[in-house]
Amino acid sequence: MEISKTSNIRAIIKHNPKTRAIFDRYGLLECGGAAGPAEPLGFFARAHNVDINVLIGELQSVIGHSNG
């Protein structure tokens, strides 16, 4: 799964539930319930003051390890 700043958080979590831990570490917690919110990754990064490139890298790392 290719991840960009326009990727939907809910789709990322659905594709790979292990990414939820990364979002929770940055403050997602219960927002959107178990499925996560239907908002773009870039919005989340701005709202939680997270560097989008770091966040994308961490998500890709988890997804890569899960698929490998």
pLDDT in tens, 2-52: 899 999 999 999 999 999 999 999 988 777 787 888 899 999 999 999 999
| The predicted structure's pLDDT at residue 34 | 77
Asked if the model's pLDDT at residue 68 lies above 70, the reply is no
pLDDT in tens, 24-38: 999 887 777 878 888
Query: Do 9 and 59 contact (CB within 8 A), yes or no?
Result: no
Delimit the domains of the chain by residue range: 9-67
Of 60, 26, 24, the residue nearest 46 (C-alpha): 26
SS3 for 31-52, per residue? CCHHHCCCCEHHHHHHHCCCCH
Of 18, 6, 13, the residue nearest 31 (C-alpha): 13
Q: What is the reported pTM? A: 0.86
